[in-house]
Structure 1
């Protein structure tokens, strides 16, 4: 799907069809030349073709046919005009020299018309060969591979569901109560992965529908015969429906029935749940930083108080006024500062208690959210995988049944 875009990103604009046509032309020009012993002309072997190169070849031959049809229509109109002139001259009885001259032009145009028609029919035959003998088998391989892939995905998702279901009985009493930086980083990583999962799943389904839809639209036009006969009452030979059209019709139909929107919604919802957990963790981490800053500030003020108290006690030792108050009528500064320190310690203790509660709330909310959302997520994606695997297996079976009937 990204074959063309990858080239465009790295090399700028690349005309793939022109490049492939060079290979096609070279390839067919040298088919008659004897090859050295033990040398294989890999370009002649269909087994070396990839899905992308087959599409490139079809595109190149379609472009070739497009230009041939345009040229053919020009010759056809010119031939019809000259033929009409010739008939009029015959009716009017013009001179034989004028008649012969017109006949010569008509004969030349008719020859060119026949040659161009044969060239065009040869191109159509090559497109049909590529369509039926290269593209169709590769689409069957893709269908088979998709069935195997979704089978594997179903097995993995069922295993994940079984593991996640064990969370309901998980004892987390021995786990760390606080959210560590590493734990938070892993939660951020999980959020990014789930977001990417949602985005890539959406792209996968969108591109698949677009690709199959484009092929189906093309094949509906491709099987329409082109009228190359000048006789108005002639009829084209009946052409049976090619297997690739039946395959793409069924494929296009099953893609419209797959419940991919439910799977996308489940993944998106889980991403939002992880984001909610992240918000709770960030609140907890902010509170932890606040406590750490408060502890440092408390330690600094405690040291200042201890230094001041030691100097104050030393200064006032043995000095007592007559009323027993070293400062007379003033309040004892030791009592005031000690009370201030006690208030700070009490505030610190309350902040720590709030932090402990926050840690417990975050852990319980996170666990509850995961216990409920993860089983729902893996139930939906495992059901989607099972349906997808079944539909692609059915598509493979239908295609092979039709192939056997055609034989």
Structure 2
């Protein structure tokens, strides 16, 4: 026990090994007064699904060691028996024969005892399988049935809400994408991706677990053959356990669930949200370009106004000195004004073009968002509603399996 606790404290935990030590330790102290020892491990009602699997693994490892030791002993027994027959054939003296007979008899006795111990281990594994694992699986089935019934109700409500608002327009909604709005879109995209990922993990792990249990059960129900089976004291072979009916139906019906449509709807909606998100990024970039163009235009207009004000002051001063405005110098100055004004006009033209591109992208994003959400959200919730309904029906069928029933139809 101390070794097991030390390993646990160090982080090297082998749950099945610890459980096996506890099992062995508990059995060794059961001879003590029950007033002195209260074995909490005998109370199996509180044990979790995982704890039961750990305990079964511990007994499986014990059975493996017993089978391995039994096979080695069987080989040793057969060798000694062959040696005894050989000695008899060659007429060995009675003392040597008696010595070998004693060894053979001892090995045979040990072999029978070990086979009986093996039978006890198999019986304990089967008891855990039928009295603990099977009820926990039934509880899991009932819990899954309730969960998918709840999911069916909520997805149905979501689909109803989406259908009701599908034909509505929202004129007061902002027509431009703010940074906060874009962040919410990114958050939605990540959440849908996480939904898709967790949904696929749920279905994969569920299938893997039921498949593993079925594979184990196919090995578990195969009887261990040995010569002591012919003994009248050996337990009779039993019919297939009840858990086999449940697991067989569970495995087959999991394979028939319409999971592909649900996965496709999640993936499609995720792609639609991502497309909206990328369009919003383009809109925000165009907004930055429009802001840059506006600042550039304002700067150039300000520079022109300052220059033009000084220019007019010089023209006024020149007029007072009776300078002829039709001179070549005057004409050159007018060209200079036109040239500087053209810079401002070009900046204003770029500003108008930037604003036009931005407004156009705003409309694209708004239309794409409304169209995508009105199209893909109902498809998503309809697919998830259908899947939840299929799961709820499947688990309700599984929970209705009774001890006298055969497997549910595939």
Q: In 2, are the aligned partners of 1:243 and 1:402 still within 8 Å (CA)?
A: no
Distance in 2 (alpha carbons) for counterparts of 1:259 and 1:35: 55
Q: In 2, are the aligned partners of 1:83 and 1:106 still within 8 Å (CA)?
A: yes
Q: In 1, are the aligned partners of 2:296 and 2:347 still within 8 Å (CA)?
A: no
Distance in 1 (alpha carbons) for counterparts of 2:229 and 2:341: 115
Instruction: Select the residue among 353, 356, 375 that pairs with 1:353.
Output: 356
CA change 1:156–1:231 in 2 (3 A) is: closer
* 1:292-339 residue CA offsets vs partner (Å, 9 max, x unmatched): 111122222222222212222222213133244583341412233223
CA change 1:362–1:311 in 2 (3 A) is: same
CA change 1:11–1:343 in 2 (3 A) is: farther
Gaps of 5+ in 2: 1-8
Find out whether 1:264 has 2:263 as its counterpart.
yes
Q: CA deviation at 1:35?
A: 5.3
Q: TM-score, normalised by structure 1?
A: 0.90
Find out whether 1:376 has 2:400 as its counterpart.
no
Distance in 2 (alpha carbons) for counterparts of 1:389 and 1:246: 19
Give the equivalent residue in structure 2 for 1:191.
189
CA change 1:311–1:53 in 2 (3 A) is: same
Gaps of 5+ in 1: 1-9
Find out whether 1:162 has 2:160 as its counterpart.
yes
Give the equivalent residue in structure 1 for 2:286.
287
- Structure 1 residues 226-235 or 252-261, which shifts more? 226-235
- Structure 1 residues 310-319 or 252-261, which shifts more? 310-319
Distance in 2 (alpha carbons) for counterparts of 1:50 and 1:230: 36
Give the equivalent residue in structure 1 for 2:249.
250
Instruction: Select the residue among 224, 227, 231 that pairs with 1:226.
Output: 224
Distance in 2 (alpha carbons) for counterparts of 1:146 and 1:388: 8
* CA-atom RMSD in angstroms: 2.4
* 1:267-307 residue CA offsets vs partner (Å, 9 max, x unmatched): 01111111111111111011001111111222222222222
Distance in 2 (alpha carbons) for counterparts of 1:400 and 1:319: 114
Q: CA deviation at 1:15?
A: 2.1
Distance in 1 (alpha carbons) for counterparts of 2:100 and 2:392: 67
- Structure 1 residues 83-92 or 240-249, which shifts more? 83-92
Give the equivalent residue in structure 2 for 1:67.
65
CA change 1:28–1:326 in 2 (3 A) is: farther
Distance in 1 (alpha carbons) for counterparts of 2:277 and 2:10: 41
Q: TM-score, normalised by structure 2?
A: 0.90
Q: CA deviation at 1:365?
A: 1.0
Q: In 2, are the aligned partners of 1:179 and 1:285 still within 8 Å (CA)?
A: yes
Give the equivalent residue in structure 2 for 1:204.
202
Number of aligned pairs?
A: 393
Distance in 2 (alpha carbons) for counterparts of 1:231 and 1:346: 99
* 1:366-406 residue CA offsets vs partner (Å, 9 max, x unmatched): 10011011111111110000011001110111245539xxx
Distance in 2 (alpha carbons) for counterparts of 1:82 and 1:40: 47
CA change 1:400–1:288 in 2 (3 A) is: farther
Kindly report which structure 2 residues correspond to 1:41-190, keeping only aligned pairs within 5 A, or say none.
41-190=39-188
Distance in 1 (alpha carbons) for counterparts of 2:44 and 2:235: 31
Distance in 1 (alpha carbons) for counterparts of 2:38 and 2:79: 51
Distance in 1 (alpha carbons) for counterparts of 2:183 and 2:391: 34
Distance in 1 (alpha carbons) for counterparts of 2:202 and 2:327: 85
Distance in 2 (alpha carbons) for counterparts of 1:204 and 1:40: 40
